[in-house]
Amino acid sequence: MKPIDSQKFLQYFDQDFRLVKEHEFRKALFYDGINENYRQIVWRFLFHFYSFKSTKRERFIKRNEKLVQYELLKERWSKIYQNILNLKVKEEEYDTIASPMVDFTCPIDLNNDYYDNSSRSVENLFEEKQDIDLGYLKIQSLLNVSRRRINNTKLMNDIKQIDKDLERTTYLIEIEEKDLADKTKIKNSLRNILITFSAFNQSSSDEMSNNGCFDLGYTQGMNEIASVFLSVFDQESIAYWCFSNYMLKDSYSKSMLTLNTTQITDNHSLKINAAHYFSDSGMSKKISHLKYLFGIIDPEYYQKLASIDLDHFNFCHEWLILNFKRCFYSTNEYQKCFEVLSSRYIEFYNATLKNINVKNLYNFDLFICISLMFQLRNQVLNEIENEMCFFEIFSQFNKSHYFEKNFKKVVQNAQEIFDKYCIISHSVNLNN
């Protein structure tokens, strides 16, 4: 099947340009991927920048509202940061600095020429240009931005860590020296995105707090995920909101849950957002899910790992927290993996189509982990005698970029493992 392009994508919309065929859309994302020239548009829907049921007019207004809000968010943390630097405040006094007012007159370019460029003809299919009252948008956004609390100490500490991590972000390293100007622009945009996210997401949601995550802000690894969005979008504000939505929104929309969830008891695996897994408690929970799945899918392999003290599965931490990003040579090549995982097609439709009710439903990245680990199965069972030997072959395996070279095979195997898990769970449920 051919990847999603403009012609194929339009098939998922009704006459009012609302995306109504979500099932077909996510299925195509998973199996066919996206034409790279069309990824900017599709990802806006995939990562909730545009809601599926929005109209062309609503999308135009939404994009401009979000542009204004993003610029004011940046303006606010930038003023705090500059005040602290200019006053040469000691760290223990950071939080004594009052939060400055956001400048209502700060310049914001609404990109009124957004459609004047012929290259924007594709976007014109999904938005309907209207007159925009910039003053009204600013007032509306100021009310939202001004009431957000910022912990100055955490902000300054996060900025220090972000500046360190920028230097080792894979996507920035990939950009050659001949593109130095472009690299500087992307680096500045990535810095803005990460600091803005950190400044205005310092407190986690109640649901995350109940699971032991009380401190959000910036965590190492977020730089790699945010850079994926910058590799797709040429507008910083859109990249920010898509990254923020990926981190904070649930993994599904309500209309997507056609799965009969009455049998599902582990709601954590359905509801927790990506940001939770950047916390120690969240990742610990995810690895415990991996251990459980591995144990029921391949008990022999699991017991072998346990015999050499590797049943902690901590070696899969980087795979899971970065969604396998470093398994790929380039960020651009990784985009197809990221959208397959973000499609959530397998988790929420596979079991339904097979008329199987499963007790617990786990994210597809766990099955990708198991699929990759199965490539080492024979070596581990027959050759590995201790932890050191395992890490030697595991390191070589990672450096080989096996996942990128065998992407379709790994995903297909992961789907087969998922099917096996559904059958096992169904059998267990019937016997209980």
d(CA 30, CA 336): 9
Range in 205-209, 252-256, 258-262, 334-338 the model is least confident about: 258-262
pLDDT of residue 356: 59
- By three-state DSSP, how is residue 26 classified? helix
**Mean pLDDT score across all residues of the chain:** 86
pLDDT at 270 over 80: no
Given a cut of 60, is residue 267 above it in pLDDT? no
pLDDT tens per residue, range 288-301: 999 999 999 999 99
- Residue type, position 201, single letter: N
Predicted model pTM: 0.90
Are 197 and 222 within 8 A, CB to CB?
yes
Give the integer Cα–Cα distance in Å for 397 and 375: 9
Listed by start position, the domains of the chain span 56-248, 254-431
334 falls in which pLDDT band (50, 70, 90)? very high
Would the pLDDT of 154 be above 90? yes
Q: Which range among 102-106, 179-183, 307-311, 384-388 shows the weakest confidence by mean pLDDT? A: 102-106
- Using one digit for the tens of pLDDT, what is the confidence trace for 361-378? 688 999 999 999 999 999
Predicted confidence band of residue 319 (pLDDT cuts 50, 70, 90): very high
The stretch 302-331 carries a mean pLDDT of 96
What pLDDT sits at residue 424? 84
Please indicate whether residue 115 or residue 280 has the higher confidence score (pLDDT): 280
Q: Is residue 124 predicted with pLDDT exceeding 70? A: yes
Domain 254-431 is found in CATH 1.10.472: yes
352 has pLDDT over 80: no
DSSP state of 112: T
The gap from C-alpha 20 to its chain's centroid, in whole angstroms, comes to 23
Q: What per-residue confidence (pLDDT) applies to 176? A: 72
At 101, the amino acid letter reads M
